[in-house]
Structure 1
Amino acid sequence: MSERSVFVTGASRGIGLAIARAFAEQGDRVAVGYRGGGPPDGLTGVHCDVTDPASVDAAFTAVEAENGPVSVLVANAGITQDSLALRMTDEEFAAPFETNLAGTFRVARRAAPGMLKGRWGRMVFVSSVMGTLGSPGQANYAASKSGLIGLARSLAREFGRRGITVNTVAPGLVETDMSAAISDRRRDELLAMTPVGRVGTAREVAEVVRFLASEGASYVTGGVIPVSGGMGMGS
């Protein structure tokens, strides 16, 4: 379990960066995927556009050369493109699916052969509580994040007998650059739906992801773990 090869997509900031740092702290060999800008300080970065299969393959090839076959994959890359349903174009509806859902499938498909060969692996997909609750103005985002649950559970059934687990975490209102763009009115609405009465931190999400990637979680697969302060509990 020491010095595993960990690849976190969409990890230049926010939840992804917190996850990457949490794994690095425990001694794993961590690579972070980024599409725009550059890699974060202190971590190995690799350009990875999850909407492009060739970019995904090149990123994994680079990570494998540096750190060895990926044994822990955290698929965090995601976007929003909000609009009310009656105003949403086909292109706006499709965009989050291409990154959030299809992008996750692409990186999982590329990671799987190495995990199958090693008969051990951990995949964790970062969804959202909105994938189970729904959200006005986010039909595309919510549907794409909901789709991650079906994808994870299907892969969990395919890979389970080879020592590979596949789980999903569903963060609620977490303090990130993305959540900072939420209007004060919507933020108050979300806080009112959160029993613990506060915004979460990216580190709190990272701790759950790190557990799911541990040997202690070897009997947890196909799960949807809310990290939401109770928002949407039971959904």
Structure 2
Amino acid sequence: MKIFTMCMECQKELGHPSFEPILADYYDEPVAHFECGRGHICALMLQSQKFEILLESAVNALLAGYTLEASSTFSSAYERFFEFVISVFCSKQKVDKDELAKTFKQVSRQSERQLGAFLYLYLMEFGVNYQINMDIIEFRNKVIHKGYIPSPDEVEKFAEKIYTEIYQVTQKLKSSCGEDIQNVVQASLLERSKSVSGQVAKATSTGASFFSLSHEEQAPTFDSAIASYKEVQKAIKESTPTLKALGEIIKAREH
């Protein structure tokens, strides 16, 4: 995965952005390590939850035409979303973090049990049954277990169903568990900070742009979300040459 950024240490030294565009890599641990043109070694910690990162990765795969990879990653995002929601519900109930980690470890490799935990916690929180869209489960199993390679249209319909569920649950969570969403995000950010060497300059980023809990509002549909994402990516691509030119001018003036 990649994230567009600029060096935060340069901004401190110069008193303004360096305008050096940096496309930094990050992987399972959502921390992007990079070195800028002035030699600053930095770590950019993303606030994004795993499901947000996986959603963006799936969209990138879909846009690149990799339908099998997109389908499996959308499926993973869906499962990790339930994990996130479980953490939010447990935060609201003041469940001890260590005890939650021990309990989740027992179901971490069994998505069906995680789904079951989500269903009962959702029922307890909202007092109504959550109806899982079985079309999602059936398509997921067809791709994952039978090696089915779907068409782009099939993936888009699959992604739309997943996005709709994530969007709708997120809206309900924001209404009843807004503070607990922030608690879970901040707790994960703290863990990422602990993993970064004290000798490295640290900064934080909201991270993924396709679907982000940090945004006040999320796009209500998959189509509108992917259209917005394309616009963001286009703006980054088009602005990069100008930013590079500005950065070179600023660097030249330093000498």
- TM-score tier (shorter): under 0.3
Higher helix content, 1 or 2:
2
- Structure possessing the higher relative contact order (Cα contacts under 8 Å, 6 or more residues apart): 2
Higher strand content, 1 or 2:
1
The normalised TM-score by structure 1 is 0.28
The normalised TM-score by structure 2 is 0.26
Considering only CA atoms, is the larger Rg found in Structure 1 or Structure 2?
2
